[in-house]
Amino acid sequence: MARFSGKVALITGGARGIGRATAQAFSAEGARVIVADVDAEASEATARALGGGAISLGLDVADPGSVKAVVAAALSRAERIDVLVNNAGITRDATLLKTSDEAWDSVIAVNLTGTFYMTREVAPHMVARGSGAIINASSVVGVYGNFGQSNYVATKSGVIGMTRVWARELGRKGVRVNCIAPGFIATDMTAKMPEDVLDGMKKKTPLGRLGAPEDVARAYVFLASDDASFINGQVLGVDGGLVAGT
């Protein structure tokens, strides 16, 4: 029997890349998937491709009004949210001395504050039912830092901190909260990088390759499933041993 039969998974940033792979993975496990993304057209295309009653909703996680409207629409149409995957995220890379106010504020707004808005809005419904799983997207750079990413690293470190706080607060109410920390993953963004840069990424990774979006998606599914029923407040590295190798 599929692990998520009869359950509903809401995935932010679910229209493409890791988010789309995650939507596909949950759908394959029987979940009804809500694809929420700032690109409403791409979100609709992903939902159509999934079938199985998948729902598409346009979402700006940095806008509390949009978050409230999307969660309300999700509950109206699907009646419940069993899994929240806070996957939406952006980068605006620059060294400290070249980071603009806009670059700082926009990354904080989406990656950190957006995760807060979504969780604050969804958690009460999970608490009311006494069950639920929330998985947040951190990064290996949130653990060890990275050149030219003050804003991004701040958000991903912050996500780890919030995850641990929420695990303590919500665990006693039946809601588990964990996060994943991906390493170098092959996405549309990495596909545009020079070959020598990609080779460098592979060499830094003990497994000798980039991760696939599906590698991250399977980690999301595991942490949301009953197979992880006693895992709470943890950071799961999906990095091919990158952190271990540094």
Active site residue 220: no
Q: Which CATH class is domain 8-238?
A: alpha beta
Q: What is the pTM of this model?
A: 0.96
Share of the chain residues as helix, strand and coil, in percent rounded to the nearest 5: 50, 15, 30
C-beta atoms surrounding 28 within 10 Å = 16
Query: What letter would DSSP give residue 20?
Result: H
Write out pLDDT tens, residues 160-201: 999 999 999 999 999 999 999 999 999 877 777 788 888 888
**Residue 246 has what pLDDT?**
61
- Cα separations (Å) of 14 from 3, 21, 134, 150, 245? 20, 8, 15, 25, 30
Give the DSSP H or E segment for 161: helix 150-171
**What is the tens place of the pLDDT at every residue in 102-141?**
999 999 999 999 999 999 999 999 999 999 999 999 999 9
Does residue 146 sit in helix, strand or coil? coil
How high is the pLDDT of residue 243? 84
* Catalytic residue, candidates 117, 144, 152, 220: 152
One-letter identity of residue 177: V
- The DSSP 8-state label assigned to residue 109 in this structure reads I
For residue 185, what is the enclosing H or E element? none
